[in-house]
Amino acid sequence: MKNYPAIGIRPIVDSRRLGIRDALEGKVREMAQSAKKLIEENVFYADGTPVRVVIFSGSIAGGEEAARCEAQFAAEHVTATLSVTPSWCYPLETIDMNPLTIKAIWGFNGTERPGAVYLASAMAAHNQMRRPCFSIYGRDVQDMEEQEIPKDVQEKILRFARCAVAAGEMQNKSYVGFGAVSMGIMGSFLDPAFYAQYLGMRSEWVDMTEILRRMDLGIYDQEEYKEALTWVYANCKEGCDPNPDERAHSRGQKDEEWEFVVKMTMIIRDIMLGNEKLAGMGFAEEALGRNGLFGGFQGQRMWTDYKPNADFTEAILNSSFDWNGKRQPLVFATENDNLNGLSMLFGNLLTGKASGFSDVRCYWSPEAVKRVTNWEPEGKAAEGFIHLINSGSTCLDASGKAKDEAGKGVMKPWWEMKEEDIRACLDATDWCPAELCQFRGGGYSSHFKTDAEMPLTMVRVNLVDGLGPVMQIAEGWSIVLPEDVHHKIDIRTDRTWPTTWFVPRTNGKKAFRDVYSVMANWGANHGAFIHGHVGADLITLSSMLRIPVTMHNVDEEKIFRPHVWASFGTNDLEAADREACRAFGPLYR
Ligand SMILES: C[C@H](O)[C@@H](O)[C@@H](O)C(=O)CO
Ligand SMILES: [Mn+2]
């Protein structure tokens, strides 16, 4: 079900008529319209639709009009508000008091009217009444008649809007976990209280046998299945079979496994999203789906010891395309690691791009690389690098084969993918039969290497007893190693899996002292990665969700959190963040 969260703009004015309110109405309306335009042109829901922005029909000078605004916004599913004003107004009578909306105020930096005085006073009210609010105030004084939104104000409005919409898209949606905990991986343990209280999400469990039930009873679109299988045979070339001849599956078995994994992919998608075609086949309940926003699959080991694994399913669902062409990625976590899936989801909601899922497998020091390959790491690899590799599944976008206008390898918002991008990602990927010691039931692993130097942000949400959820962020780059070096170290691991060589940006201090320290401090076996340096957005989103960021390498001046965070300290921002999140607690408790 689609229920887009809207951003509501609240024009605030001084109530004194006879020359003040009248003089402000035009300016405040123009501020509201320009903010609406800025957001609608630059911020998108994960499905590519421009964000819906509504402006209160009037302006707000007191509690009565504030209440009217609240009523209008409630009917419009407004989950975040941006109040705008060029003047002094009366904070306790005009601010957004809704405990659930995510709030910001843009106070015009002009001195004809005391906009900044209102802003500061409104922040004091928000801070004292447990209603955290983002403060947006331009660095340079503007003339009252100026209509241009200054660049620094634009950056804050857009960061606020992207993150508030991401938070809003999670509300009332579900995480759908197929199976249970995989191989004792703690991230697979699904804590419904965390999702309900911090994200406003529902947690659902689906036994993996549901996939077999639908397969055996033919509860999937048979026509689409034929098209999908034809597309797979034409576009998903088989790679090397790592199994010794005496153990390798026969051609017949392998063909059955292709049929199986294509059906499995469609069935899991239908369980997550629903499919009205199923209603026409007499399966009304199955047609509804489970309102899934993201999900995960246990796989190992009970399923994968018996049936084909979900490597193909996870890789295709996480990619920005399938046999129907380009489409919104469906974030789907390997090994049912919902915390890594959530980390992927944050990146996807903020950018519209496919997210990578990886084991954080190994730190390669320059010395070790030299010893093993006789190559002296240089450039971004000079301090060593981290091997990101997942057991058989990463979105094909992570091959880095989509190209921007300059011909550079990138990962694009799914709606910008071109046919040639999809073709290039498919051509760069082969699908290796599963290594049968680990996956006795077979299946196919997406096998590629990230073949472009791209800005990436590695992300992880962890749950820590006594602290709650925490976020880790490492901005850095994928790197491309000389082919022989890549080959020598890649085949030391599972040669049929997708590899990304990652170098975090280090600064010689604390967790980012060097590449080794980043790996040593990482909170779990998995990490998600998203294209671009989006750490500042992740920090803002985390503050909205009251998730403290306990590790990041984002420049301090880019950090944008609710104004009240400064009241928890300005010297140690990490401690202040932790204290503020603890003080306010989860949004939906
Ligand atoms: C195939 C192996 O069991 C992998 O799945 C395992 O090493 C992991 O990915 C653990 O996160
Ligand atoms: Mn893993």
Shortest-distance Cα residue to atom 2 of ligand 1 = 391
Region 416-439: what's the mean pLDDT?
98
Mean pLDDT computed over every residue of the chain:
97
Task: Show which of 121, 152, 170 is a domain's final residue.
Answer: 170
pTM of the model: 0.98
pLDDT higher than threshold 80 for residue 416: yes
Tell whether 195 and 102 lie within a shared domain: no
pLDDT higher than threshold 90 for residue 114: no
The length of the chain is 589
Calculate the alpha carbon distances from 371 to 208, 353, 480, 485 in Å. 45, 37, 19, 11
184 CA → ligand 1 middle, Å = 11
Tell whether 250 and 149 lie within a shared domain: no
**304 in ligand 1 pocket by Cβ < 6 Å?**
no
Cis peptide before 301 (omega within 30 of 0): yes
What phi and psi values does residue 121 have, to the nearest 5 degrees? -70, -35
Shortest-distance Cα residue to atom 4 of ligand 1 = 391
Number of domains in the chain: 2
**493 in ligand 1 pocket by Cβ < 6 Å?**
no
Q: What is d(CA 34, CA 38) in angstroms, rounded to the nearest whole number?
A: 6
Task: Show which of 145, 170, 195 is a domain's final residue.
Answer: 170
Q: Which residues contact 509 (CB under 8 A, 6 or more apart)?
A: none
Residue 376 marked in a binding site = no
Shortest-distance Cα residue to atom 9 of ligand 1 = 391
DSSP symbols for 561-589:
--GGGGGG-SS-HHHHHHHHHHHH--TT-
Contact 50, 122 (CB under 8 A): no
Residue 100 lies in a domain: yes
pLDDT higher than threshold 90 for residue 410: yes
Tell whether 236 and 299 lie within a shared domain: yes
How many secondary structure helices (H) and strands (E) does the chain include?
19, 22
Q: What is d(CA 138, CA 152) in angstroms, rounded to the nearest whole number?
A: 6
Is 0.95 exceeded by the ipTM? yes
496 CA → ligand 2 middle, Å = 14
**What would the pLDDT profile of 160-213 be if each residue is shown by its tens digit?**
999 999 999 999 999 999 999 999 999 999 999 999 999 999 999 999 999 999
Residue 337 lies in a domain: yes
Q: What is d(CA 394, CA 519) in angstroms, rounded to the nearest whole number?
A: 20
Q: Which ligand is nearest to the CA of 497?
A: 1
Region 317-338: what's the mean pLDDT?
98
Tell whether 401 and 513 lie within a shared domain: yes
pLDDT higher than threshold 80 for residue 1: no
Predicted confidence band at 2 (pLDDT cuts at 50, 70, 90)? confident
Residue 311 lies in a domain: yes
Tell whether 498 and 469 lie within a shared domain: yes
Tell whether 476 and 452 lie within a shared domain: yes
312 CA → ligand 1 middle, Å = 16
Q: By CB neighbour count within 10 A (0-12 exposed, 13-18 middle, 19+ buried), where does 124 fall?
A: middle
Which two structure tokens, joined as six digits, stand for 239? 């790679």
Q: Which ligand is nearest to the CA of 440?
A: 1
Tell whether 336 and 207 lie within a shared domain: yes
Residue 381 lies in a domain: yes
Beta strands in 207-310 (DSSP E): 292-297
Which two structure tokens, joined as six digits, stand for 506? 């280090």
**What would the pLDDT profile of 15-70 be if each residue is shown by its tens digit?**
999 889 999 999 999 999 999 999 999 999 999 999 999 999 999 999 999 999 99
Which two structure tokens, joined as six digits, stand for 55? 């402006």
Q: Give a three-class secondary structure readout of 291-353.
A: CEEEEEECCCCCCCCCCCCCHHHHHHHHCCEECCEECCCCCEEECCCHHHHHHHHHHHHHHCE
- Specify the CATH number for the domain of residue 162: 3.40.50.1070
pLDDT higher than threshold 90 for residue 356: yes
Task: Show which of 151, 170, 189 is a domain's final residue.
Answer: 170
Contact 518, 477 (CB under 8 A): no
The helix/strand/coil state of 142 is coil
**359 in ligand 1 pocket by Cβ < 6 Å?**
yes
389 CA → ligand 1 middle, Å = 10
pLDDT for res 510: 97
Predicted confidence band at 499 (pLDDT cuts at 50, 70, 90)? very high
525 CA → ligand 2 middle, Å = 7
pLDDT for res 116: 86
Residue 1 lies in a domain: no
Task: Provide the residue range defining the domain that includes 19.
Answer: 6-170
Region 128-156: what's the mean pLDDT?
95
Tell whether 126 and 51 lie within a shared domain: yes
Residue 589 lies in a domain: no
**335 in ligand 1 pocket by Cβ < 6 Å?**
yes
pLDDT for res 373: 98
Nearest ligand 1 atom to alpha carbon 494: 1
Tell whether 92 and 179 lie within a shared domain: no
Residue 65 marked in a binding site = no
**188 in ligand 1 pocket by Cβ < 6 Å?**
no
pLDDT higher than threshold 90 for residue 138: yes
Q: By CB neighbour count within 10 A (0-12 exposed, 13-18 middle, 19+ buried), where does 238 fall?
A: middle
**What would the pLDDT profile of 248-290 be if each residue is shown by its tens digit?**
999 999 999 999 999 999 999 999 999 999 999 999 999 999 9
pLDDT for res 562: 98
Residue 81 lies in a domain: yes
Select from 186, 189, 300 the residue to mutate for testing ligand 1; criterion: most ligand atoms less than 8 Å from CB: 300
Tell whether 246 and 145 lie within a shared domain: no
Nearest ligand 1 atom to alpha carbon 334: 9
Select from 186, 301, 335, 360 the residue to mutate for testing ligand 1; criterion: most ligand atoms less than 8 Å from CB: 335
Tell whether 182 and 140 lie within a shared domain: no
Shortest-distance Cα residue to atom 7 of ligand 1 = 391
Predicted confidence band at 111 (pLDDT cuts at 50, 70, 90)? confident
Tell whether 193 and 149 lie within a shared domain: no
Q: Which residues are catalytic?
A: 335, 359
Region 293-316: what's the mean pLDDT?
98
236 CA → ligand 1 middle, Å = 23
- Specify the CATH number for the domain of residue 259: 3.20.14.10
Which two structure tokens, joined as six digits, stand for 243? 């199994």
Give first-to-last CA distance, the chain, whole Å.
24
Residue 526 marked in a binding site = yes
